[in-house]
Amino acid sequence: MVIDWKGVMPAVTTKFTNEDTLDLEMFTKNIKAQLDAGVHGIILGGTLGEASTLDNAEKSTLVKTTVNIVKSRIPVIINIAEQSTKGAIEAARKAEEDGANGLMMLPPMRYKAGDRETVTYFKEVAKSTDLPIMIYNNPVDYKIEVTLNMFDELIELDNIQAVKESTRDISNITRLKNRFGDRLKILSGVDTLALESLLMGADGWVAGLVCAFPEETVAIYELQKAGKIKKAIAIYRWFLPLLELDINPKLVQNIKLAEVATGIGTENVRAPRLPLVDEERKKVLEIIENGIKTRPSLPNYKSLVY
């Protein structure tokens, strides 16, 4: 499958049962809600997917399950976050075998690789697979920045095609567009900068709160794409307090609480994460409850022409 690298691509949460096994029934319910809302891709095994707590068999099950649900309507992409080049190459091989359509790749985990090491890491994995790749550039959380000069080297490989832009520097959208044009597709990776990024030329949005609010998220994308900026801004302003739950160390717990409130998820997380309690939980629930109480009516965003 050729990936366009545009539109809304949810970084979906991983659903767990009370016994700490994969809850594929609720997972399926959520993926179907994403499809019904009109998302443009599904991303598995990211931070929101609690990837660091999943074993290889569970990742494989998630890919195969999602491929079966999606049935080639949209691409299924899995995140690769490994400590070694060898491990990342094996993860890419398994993803392709399981039917994934693309990869999202973080720099090496734990070891703070230098620029040359990071570029070599990405290139070696890219050479090992035919799958298209989106580089996840998040120096705030992962302490390694993929610079413009590094991308100059990376795009020598045809299957390195996109960047999940999470530097928190909105002007980086323009820098990337000025340097690479359409050669490198840009997807915003920060919920609270998503509409701003799209208006500055980003091609898509790797979203978090979409896990609980898929229709509102896709509506914002489609409205701005169709030039209906004021309507997009109105929904985005309503959404912002909820979107801020994504830029928080407890983003997984926050978003899973929101999924419970909208009926497409459970609160179960995998240790060492624990569900929110006390005042922290109360504050998050207040934001979610207020968002649901003031939820806007959406236009027929699926019929927009652009």
Q: Where are the beta strands (DSSP E) in 36-118?
A: 42-44, 76-80, 102-105
Q: How many residues does the chain have?
A: 306
Mean pLDDT value across residues 8-21: 98
Tell me the per-residue pLDDT of 248-277, one tens digit each, with 9 for 90 and over.
Answer: 999 999 999 999 999 999 999 999 999 999
Q: Are 62 and 27 in contact (CB under 8 A)?
A: yes
CA 172 from chain centre, in angstroms, equals: 19
Q: Compute how many other C-beta atoms are within 10 angstroms of the C-beta atom of residue 245.
A: 23
Mean pLDDT value across residues 64-70: 98
Which domains are present in the chain?
7-303 (3.20.20.70)
pLDDT-derived band at 141, boundaries 50, 70, 90: confident
Tell me the per-residue pLDDT of 79-126, one tens digit each, with 9 for 90 and over.
Answer: 999 999 999 999 999 999 999 999 999 999 988 999 999 999 999 999
Q: Where are the beta strands (DSSP E) in the chain?
A: 7-10, 42-44, 76-80, 102-105, 133-137, 160-165, 185-188, 204-207
